[in-house]
């Protein structure tokens, strides 16, 4: 294969691809995440409203497993009489849910590019507030992954205690599985998780229906000691507000659909709004149904048995139906982390376009997903899981503060939006959003007050630090824009003489190719060869051979007392710069072996030289690569057939382009 010259990307360690599709490792990676997709295939990976439930709604739907219980645990401190307040509190939460669903449907209409609270705040509340919303969402998405997986593993360990010691490893394995599924594309992840999601929704709605109409075991004995206080205590406003705030954890994830509007198929807006409505109807029905059954079956929170488990047992008995629903709850709790994988990469791409995070987050991978955002979310979640040992109790105090901050800012932003736009019935719309903002702001304050010492202080510290990092990144990009004179006309390009330096060690086909590439760049080319003190005789022989070969390029021998190839070349380049050369290209001949494992057999001088010269803006480091092909029969006839088919397909594509 003929060689090619290409510049070395700074800091890439030689510019080699991480996974060569022709290598064995590249083939394994392609098998895991799938073949690269064409841009024209992007619509095939978009999701429908039904697929939007497992892709973007599982966090909210699975909150029924801990939201009602969180209310009852708070009320239990005041005695058994206070538990009857759980139903009206759940009713108030469902009212807030309806307000949020209506608000986020309006957000989808007004901001179809995604981003949710960040997009609304940026347009209506200013840059600083929008960065607060974005930082809160980043914290919420990361915690959602960790909490969801930890809760799923905890439920699994409760059913199978033998798995308890391996909880962290199981959590990391689940995280890895969800990551791979999302690297393949959100559409594939949604379709893969659709079946367990439907089993969970249909199963739980069936449990509620049976429990309301004709329960099979309404007086079943529930295991585990009750945690209800024996002595009744006064029921004050603060206790009710605290229970309301605790139950509001059932609303986390409602915003994810508005954040991920670009992930839906066309018409995106109507499909996203339909998914938001489906989420509100299903979640509201579940919460109210479970609240009624809590009162009907006289359920109280117990050690070792969740409220949802007690309701299911009372409705259908501890039969196959009970275990089916319990297993589906365990599975979807773990898969609820998928909500964040649909939301955070899109949010990061918007922040990247606004110059608040590295621009790489706005780039799609081979599978047309924002893979950098997926990897970062995986890394942050893994750190949280490892730091807490996948312990749900250690993560819960941090949960929901970020998302409720986003709720509040999104609602306030919509109030400003209606006041500016003043469409028909804008006063009533603004009133709904203002009411929602008040409720979510109260919940946020109560969260902070009641959970601050239990760990919520971490969020209070983390959010400003994330905002500060956004500002630092933005300042850098602003400074770079000024240096590059972006948005204005730069000076007309002025061609200057170019010196090309080619390090060589012998006379070979590789050397000839590199010199040919160099002469195609410039008429001023020099070959340099480093000579150590003990190699003087070899140097004389090499000079004679070069003169006899006469390639049309002068050879300079760089003599050195030290055993370093890099230093003499760098010194020569510096000297050339002082002699009036404005731009120098160091073109390094590189032999590319047929297999990745054979790279270690070469000296890697190109990596050392590129690292030594990477900080000099006047020097461009490039590689003239000659790839060594494997033997013709190394991959058998099947590989040859595949290559022949690829050549034929490329020929047809070229003919098609010519006709066009």
pLDDT in tens, 211-240: 999 888 877 777 777 888 776 777 888 888
Name the nearest CA neighbour of 555 among 518, 501, 626.
501
The confidence score (pLDDT) of residue 502 equals: 94
Assign 376 to helix, strand or coil: helix
Q: Distance between CA 8 and CA 623 in Å, rounded?
A: 7
* Whether the predicted pLDDT of 660 surpasses 60: no
Q: Are 93 and 248 in contact (CB under 8 A)?
A: yes
Tokens describing residue 113 = 């590019």
Give the chain's mean pLDDT. 81
Mean pLDDT over 338-351 rounds to 84
Q: Distance between CA 574 and CA 581 in Å, rounded?
A: 10
* Whether the predicted pLDDT of 616 surpasses 90: no
Q: What share of the chain is helix, strand, coil (3-state, %, to 5)?
A: 70, 10, 25
pLDDT confidence tier of residue 45, bands split at 50, 70 and 90: low
* Whether the predicted pLDDT of 7 surpasses 50: no
Tokens 């379709």 -> residue? 191
Tokens 């559409």 -> residue? 187
Name the nearest CA neighbour of 503 among 449, 568, 453.
568
* Whether the predicted pLDDT of 118 surpasses 60: yes
Q: Provide the 8-state DSSP code for 493.
A: P
Q: Which helix (H) or strand (E) holds 260?
A: none
pLDDT confidence tier of residue 425, bands split at 50, 70 and 90: confident
The confidence score (pLDDT) of residue 284 equals: 93
CA angle, 135 then 47 then 382, to 5°: 40
**E-only strand ranges, 182-244:** none
The confidence score (pLDDT) of residue 654 equals: 45
The confidence score (pLDDT) of residue 602 equals: 67
Residue 121 dihedral angles phi and psi, to the nearest 5° = -65, -40
Q: Are 613 and 631 in contact (CB under 8 A)?
A: no
**Across-strand partners of 554?**
526
Which of 428-432, 545-549, 637-641 has the highest mean predicted lDDT (pLDDT)? 545-549
* Whether the predicted pLDDT of 333 surpasses 90: no
10 Å Cβ neighbour count for 596? 16
Tokens 């047929």 -> residue? 594
10 Å Cβ neighbour count for 159? 12
Mean pLDDT over 456-478 rounds to 90
The confidence score (pLDDT) of residue 148 equals: 83
Delimiting residues of CATH 1.20.1740.10 domain(s) in the chain: 34-480
What CATH number matches the domain at 34-480, 1.20.1740.10, 3.30.465.10, 3.60.60.10, 3.10.510.20? 1.20.1740.10
Taking phi over 0 as left and psi of -120 to 50 as alpha, with beta for the rest, 495 belongs to beta
Q: Distance between CA 543 and CA 278 in Å, rounded?
A: 79
In the chain, the largest separation of any two C-alpha atoms, in whole Å, equals: 104
Tokens describing residue 301 = 């929170």
The confidence score (pLDDT) of residue 222 equals: 73
Q: Provide the 8-state DSSP code for 399.
A: S
Delimiting residues of CATH 3.40.50 domain(s) in the chain: 497-649
The confidence score (pLDDT) of residue 12 equals: 36
Tokens 């760990």 -> residue? 455
- 497-649 has which fold? Rossmann fold (3.40.50)
199 burial (CB, 10 Å; 0-12 / 13-18 / 19+) is: middle
Residue 70 dihedral angles phi and psi, to the nearest 5° = -60, -40
* Whether the predicted pLDDT of 648 surpasses 60: no
pLDDT confidence tier of residue 264, bands split at 50, 70 and 90: confident
**Across-strand partners of 586?**
501, 621
Tokens describing residue 425 = 């019935």
Tokens describing residue 582 = 């404005």
pLDDT confidence tier of residue 518, bands split at 50, 70 and 90: very high
The confidence score (pLDDT) of residue 15 equals: 39
Tokens describing residue 599 = 């790279």
* Whether the predicted pLDDT of 517 surpasses 90: yes
Q: Distance between CA 272 and CA 82 in Å, rounded?
A: 39
Lowest mean per-residue pLDDT among 134-143, 220-229, 340-349: 220-229
10 Å Cβ neighbour count for 648? 10
Name the nearest CA neighbour of 406 among 101, 57, 132, 55.
132
The confidence score (pLDDT) of residue 42 equals: 55
Q: Is the dihedral of CA 86, 88, 90, 93 positive or negative?
A: negative
Tokens describing residue 382 = 């893994």
**Across-strand partners of 6?**
623
The confidence score (pLDDT) of residue 290 equals: 92
pLDDT confidence tier of residue 25, bands split at 50, 70 and 90: low
Residue 588 dihedral angles phi and psi, to the nearest 5° = -100, 120
Q: Distance between CA 52 and CA 54 in Å, rounded?
A: 6
The confidence score (pLDDT) of residue 9 equals: 38
* Whether the predicted pLDDT of 159 surpasses 70: no
Say how far residue 324 (Cα) sits from the centre of its chain. 32
Residue 424 dihedral angles phi and psi, to the nearest 5° = -60, 135
Helices (H), 297-370: 307-316, 320-335, 338-353
Residues whose CB is less than 8 angstroms from the CB of residue 391 and which lie 6 or more positions away in sequence, other chains included: 150
């Amino acid at each position: 294969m003929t060689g090619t010259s290409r510049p070395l990307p700074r800091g890439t360690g030689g510019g080699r691809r991480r996974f060569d599709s022709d290598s064995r490792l590249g083939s394994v990676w392609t098998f895991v995440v799938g073949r690269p997709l064409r841009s024209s295939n992007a619509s095939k990976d978009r999701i429908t409203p039904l697929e939007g439930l497992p892709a973007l709604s599982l966090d909210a739907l699975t909150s029924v497993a801990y939201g009602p219980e969180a209310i009852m645990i708070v009320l239990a401190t005041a005695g058994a009489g206070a538990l009857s307040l759980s139903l009206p509190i759940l009713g108030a939460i469902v009212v807030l849910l309806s307000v949020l669903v209506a608000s986020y449907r309006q957000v989808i209409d007004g901001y179809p590019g995604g981003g949710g609270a960040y997009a609304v705040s940026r347009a209506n509340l200013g840059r600083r507030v929008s960065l607060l919303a974005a930082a809160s969402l980043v914290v919420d998405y990361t915690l959602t992954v960790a909490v969801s997986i930890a809760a799923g593993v905890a439920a699994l360990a409760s059913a199978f205690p033998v798995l308890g010691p391996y909880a962290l490893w199981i959590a990391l394995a689940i995280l890895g599985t969800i990551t791979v599924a999302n690297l393949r594309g959100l559409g594939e992840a949604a379709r893969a998780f659709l079946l367990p999601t439907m089993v969970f929704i249909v199963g739980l709605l069936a449990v509620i229906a049976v429990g309301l109409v004709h329960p099979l075991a309404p007086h079943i004995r529930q295991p585990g000691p009750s945690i209800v206080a024996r002595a009744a205590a006064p029921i004050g406003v603060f206790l009710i507000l605290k229970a309301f705030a605790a139950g509001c954890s059932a609303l986390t994830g409602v915003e994810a659909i508005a954040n991920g509007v670009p992930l839906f198929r066309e018409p995106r807006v109507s499909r996203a709004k339909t998914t938001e409505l489906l989420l509100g109807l299903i979640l509201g029905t579940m919460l109210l149904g479970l609240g009624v059954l809590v009162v009907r079956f006289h359920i109280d929170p117990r050690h070792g048995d969740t409220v949802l488990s007690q309701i299911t047992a009372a409705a259908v008995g501890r039969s196959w139906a009970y275990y089916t629903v319990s297993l589906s709850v365990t599975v979807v709790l773990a898969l609820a982390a998928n909500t964040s994988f649909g939301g955070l990469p899109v949010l990061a791409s918007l922040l990247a376009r606004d110059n608040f995070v590295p621009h790489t987050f706005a780039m799609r991978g081979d599978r047309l997903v924002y893979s950098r955002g997926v990897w970062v979310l995986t890394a942050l979640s893994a750190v949280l899981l490892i730091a807490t040992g996948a312990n749900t109790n250690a993560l819960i105090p941090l949960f929901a503060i970020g998302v409720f901050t986003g709720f509040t800012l999104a609602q306030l932003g919509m109030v400003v939006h209606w006041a500016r736009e003043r469409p028909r019935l804008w006063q009533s719309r603004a009133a709904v959003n203002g009411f929602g903002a008040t409720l979510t702001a109260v919940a946020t304050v109560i969260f902070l007050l009641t959970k601050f010492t239990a760990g919520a202080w971490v969020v209070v510290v983390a959010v400003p630090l994330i905002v500060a990092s956004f500002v630092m990144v933005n300042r850098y990009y602003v400074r770079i824009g000024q240096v590059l004179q972006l948005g204005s006309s730069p000076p007309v390009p002025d061609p200057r003489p170019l010196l090309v330096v080619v390090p060589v060690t012998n006379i070979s086909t590789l050397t000839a190719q590199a010199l040919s590439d160099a002469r195609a760049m410039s008429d001023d080319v020099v070959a340099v060869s480093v000579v150590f003190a003990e190699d003087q005789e070899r140097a004389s022989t090499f000079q004679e051979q070069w003169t006899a070969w006469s390639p049309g390029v002068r050879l300079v021998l760089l003599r050195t007392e030290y055993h370093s190839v890099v230093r003499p070349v760098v010194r020569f380049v510096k000297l050339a710069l002082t002699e009036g050369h404005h731009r120098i290209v160091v073109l390094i001949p590189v032999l590319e072996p047929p297999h990745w494992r054979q790279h270690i057999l070469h000296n890697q001088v190109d990596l050392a030289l590129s690292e030594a010269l990477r900080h000099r803006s006047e020097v461009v480091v490039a590689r003239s690569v000659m790839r060594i092909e494997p033997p013709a029969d190394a991959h058998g006839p099947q590989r040859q057939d595949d290559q022949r088919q690829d050549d034929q397909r490329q020929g047809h594509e070229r003919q098609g382009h010519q006709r066009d």
